[in-house]
Amino acid sequence: MTEDDIPAVADLMAGLKPEWWDRPGAERQLRGGQSWFLEDGGIIVGFLLGRAYPLYKTVEIECLGFDSHGALAIGAELTPLVSCCEDWAKSQGAVHVRFVIGSRGLSCHLRPVTEPWRTLKNLAAVDRPDYLWFLAMGYSASGILPNLYGSGHHGIILVKQLPPAGAQTPGGR
């Protein structure tokens, strides 16, 4: 994404989730990391913002989404952007990519987390296809942040270990 693309992506973000972003806030956030976007017929319909943490050899997917009939959605439509982010992460020397997903639609939602390890061991998607999509891309639930978004609204830390530079990946070379 170039500087010229940021206003249009910020408009999309603010339009899809005004309770999270206003346009100036979305622009500031996009300028704080590495971003990519999806177009359909010349119209920006999706975005992903990654942020590198070199000391931890990690890139975090800070935010992502696409326009699904006027609502913010996360899913397979964003696979090309996640791939770009993972490639960029490798180029930055990262060995992990992480994303924190909310617990809505997961078995732990609105339940107390007293033993995080047990909650993770029993974690299941009740109605959360985007969680299953992340798992299918090789991400694993590796931590939980209890009550991160409010009482009973937990954050699930998803992590993917990247293959070492030059390593063969299935179907790749």
Q: Which tens digit of pLDDT belongs to each residue from 81-92?
A: 999 999 999 999
Query: First-to-last CA distance in the chain?
Result: 27
Domains and CATH numbers, the chain: 1-94 (3.40.630.30), 99-165 (3.40.630.30)
Reported residue count of the chain is: 173
Provide the pLDDT for residue 170: 55
Q: Calculate helix-pair angle for 6-16, 23-30, nearest 10 degrees.
A: 130
Band (173; pLDDT cuts 50, 70, 90): very low
Q: What is the pTM of this model?
A: 0.90
Q: What is the rounded average pLDDT of the residues 55-80?
A: 96
Separation of alpha carbons 153 and 138, rounded Å:
24
pLDDT at residue 63 tops 80: yes
Tokens describing residue 115? 């033993």
Strands (E), 11-114: 34-40, 43-53, 58-68, 71-73, 96-102
Task: State the average pLDDT over residues 30-38.
Answer: 95
**Which residues, at least 6 apart from 46, have a Cβ–Cβ distance to it below 8 Å?**
12, 37, 38, 64, 65, 66, 67, 77, 78, 81
Percentage of residues of the chain with pLDDT beyond 70: 95
